[in-house]
Structure formats: structure tokens, C-alpha cells
Structure 1
Amino acid sequence: MRDRLAGTQERRLRSGDVSYFEELFRSFYRPLLSYSAPIVGDWEVAEDVVQGVFERLWKERKRLEMKTTMRSYLFQCVYSRSLDVLRKEKVRREYRERSLVKVNAGESETLGNITYPELESRVRSAVERLPAQCRRVFEKSRYAGMSNADIAEDLGISVKTVEVHMSKALKRLRSDLGDFLILCLFYGII
């Protein structure tokens, strides 16, 4: 029974049935929001998570292959995306703490003198200087919040290739931005 139901739901979504998508959104938005909020610890962040899941569901509907019901699928997507948000926030928090220690200790005079627009400009320039594929992978990861698997699928490359490109991009940015990388992470620019 579940396989047939999942197949029907999948077909309706793949066909671009807007009324079905709206029905899904109305039925699951609140429960998914209530599920994500305790995980991420913030109602607005949970809204972003759930909206992102629905946006991706619509965008990727033609490639959708469900092995469960739509309900299970949506809850699993929200769970994964919520954990991704937590991981990224943890990394940002750790870098913020390290950068504050450096700035407070006076280790870098230049860090305290740069303005946010200057920093943003430096990052933009550094990202633009990345090789094309590295830049695409980096932007999808850092700015669009996509997972490595999603990036690989979107670009038609393997997950391992995505990891290699991210590694190259981060190594190059560390080199290009030097001490400013800490501030970039602090302000959430990268």
C-alpha cells in the first residue's frame, strides 16, 4: 500500500500539479516548522529550513524518487536540513570565538581596521578569482546552503569531485584572504 501511495504522490508532484503542491504545503508546513524549531533553536531559522525544503522539492520534482510516503520524505528532508544548519552555525561560532580572542589579544592590527563593505569586497574578489567549477561548487555550498550530494547532482559530478573542489576553494581562499578569513566567518560572509 505504501509503495502505491508513494508512487501516486511522486507522479502528481513530478507532473507539476500545482494544486497538489499547495495542498502539501498547507498540510505539512506547520508540522514541519514545529519539528524543525526545537532542533535549530530558532523559529525564524526553522521557517527558512522548511521553506527551503519546499523550494527544493518543487525545483527537483522531476528527479524525485521516493521510497516512502511524502510525509516521511518531507520530515527526513527537514531533519537533514536542520542538522546542516546546526553544523554550519557551530563552525561559525567556533571561528567567531577564535577571531575575538585574536582581536582582543591585539594579534592583528589590520583586522580591527577593516570595514564590513571592504571585507565583503575582498571576499567577492577572492571568490571570483577561483576556477569556474570551484567557484560554482563553493557558491552552491556556502551561499545556497546545498549539501555535497545536492551539488553533485545539480552539476552532474560525483560527491568526491565536489569535495575536491571545495577543498581547493577553501585552500585558495585561506591563502588569498589570510587573517581576514576569520572575520569573514565571524560576519557570516563565507
Structure 2
Amino acid sequence: MDIATVKYSELSEKELIFLLHEGHEGALRSLYDIHVKKLHYFILRTAKSRQLAEDVVQDVFIKIWETRVLIDPELPFRTYLYTIAKRHLLNLLKRLQHESGILNEIRKYVDPSENTTELQVEYSESNVMLTEAISKLPPQCKEVFIRCKMQGLSYKQVAAELAITEGTVNSQMVKALRSIREYITFKNAALALLVFLSNLLD
């Protein structure tokens, strides 16, 4: 198969999985285009939130990309996709419920007049780190990330604004989030090392 001239839309799902195994982003975009609407509706029925449903769909396809070599082309891709989606949504809902409980407990004990300078500094540092990570993204990745995550636009709106497909929006979000996570993980590890060394020298 000549990848330079291949039309992904004309390939079978099985052929797309084989190409996905080999790292072809076009195959991921095609699989996204095939399944995104029904998957979004499936998640929305449980999530009851369009933004949460979009985030889950995005995370699911990131997971598909990251675990692509584990996908069996001989088995129905839809079953694999929806299994990941259900697990991720349930885990996310549990985490959100847990975090909400923690915040409620904190509100019970925190004095509104208490000095929260340290918390403000930590929040500010996190924002700086995120801004740095975004600034290092390739141009299209950056445009897509800013529109989706910071301006709150849907994939459809971003695709229309940038004259690209929704599949391309998704693949660029996959790249952007992976890059941002790697950058922040690296920065946090470096910061932890500096703190550790500083403590040793004290």
C-alpha cells in the first residue's frame, strides 16, 4: 500500500487498525471521524454534560493512540473503543465526586480570613508552567489547544474556524496534551530534584 497516495476514507476498519499500529495519524483521524458522533452520544447519556463528554471522547482517542499496538485488528474495534470509554468515564466521575468531597471538607475548616498567599503562589506557578508548555507547542497544535481548552469551542467549531477536519482537531489535541503532560512532568521532576538537593545541603 502506497501511504503517500492512500485515501483513508476508502479503507476498511481492519486496514485502518493495521495502519494505526504503524503510527499513521491519518488512520486515527479516520477512526475518529467514523465513531465520534455515536461515541459522544453514548458518553453524553451518562455524563449529562457536553463539555465532559467532549473531554472523555478526547481522552479516549488519546488512549487509543497510546495503546494502538495492543489493539487486535481481528476483533471489533467498536467494542474495544466503548469499553475504554466506559471505564474512563466511570473513573473520571468517581474522581470528580471524590475531589468535590475533599473541597467541601476543606471549606468547613478553612478560615476565609486566613492568609492564603502560599496557595496563591502555587496556583500562579502552575499557571506559568502551563503557559510555558503551551508556548512550546507547534503552531497548529497551539491554535487547536487554545480554541478547544481555553476558549471552550467544540471540535466542530474549531474545525470550521481553521478549515480542517474534526479528526485533525482531535489528532492535534492528542499531540498537544501529550506534549503538555510530558513538559509538566519533566518540570515537576526537576523541581522535586532541586528541593531534594536543597534539603541535603541545608
State how far apart, in whole Å, the 2-side matches of 1:50 and 1:32 are.
7
TM-score, normalised with respect to structure 2: 0.48
- CA apart distance, 1:116: 4.8
Contact map agreement 1:33 1:50 (CA 8 A) in 2: yes
User: Residue 92 of structure 1 aligns with which residue?
Assistant: 99
Q: Quick one: which of 92, 110, 117 aligns to 1:114?
A: 117
Alignment match, 2:54: 47
Deviations 1:79-121 (A, max 9, x none): 1111111011011110111111112xx4x864x5336532336
- Kindly report which structure 2 residues correspond to 1:64-83, keeping only aligned pairs within 5 A, or say none: 64-65=71-72, 68-83=75-90
With the length of structure 1 as denominator, give the TM-score of the two structures. Answer: 0.50
Gaps of 5+ in 1: 125-142, 145-190
Distance 1:11 1:118, change over 3 A: same
The Cα of 1:31 is off from its aligned counterpart by 0.8
C-alpha deviation, 1:16, in angstroms = 3.1
- Percent identity of the aligned residues? 18
**Once the 2 structures are TM-superposed, how far is the Cα of residue 17 of structure 1 from its aligned partner?**
4.1
What's the counterpart of residue 37 of structure 1? Answer: 44
Contact 2:56–2:88 (Cα < 8 Å) also in 1 = yes
Residue 9 (structure 1) shift: 5.7
Q: What is the CA-CA distance between 1:122 and the residue it aligns to? A: 8.4
Count of aligned residue pairs for this structure pair: 118
The corresponding residue for 1:179 is none
Q: Within 5 A, what are the aligned runs for 1:163-178?
A: none
Change (3 A) 1:62 1:88: same
- Counterpart of 1:21 in structure 2 is 28
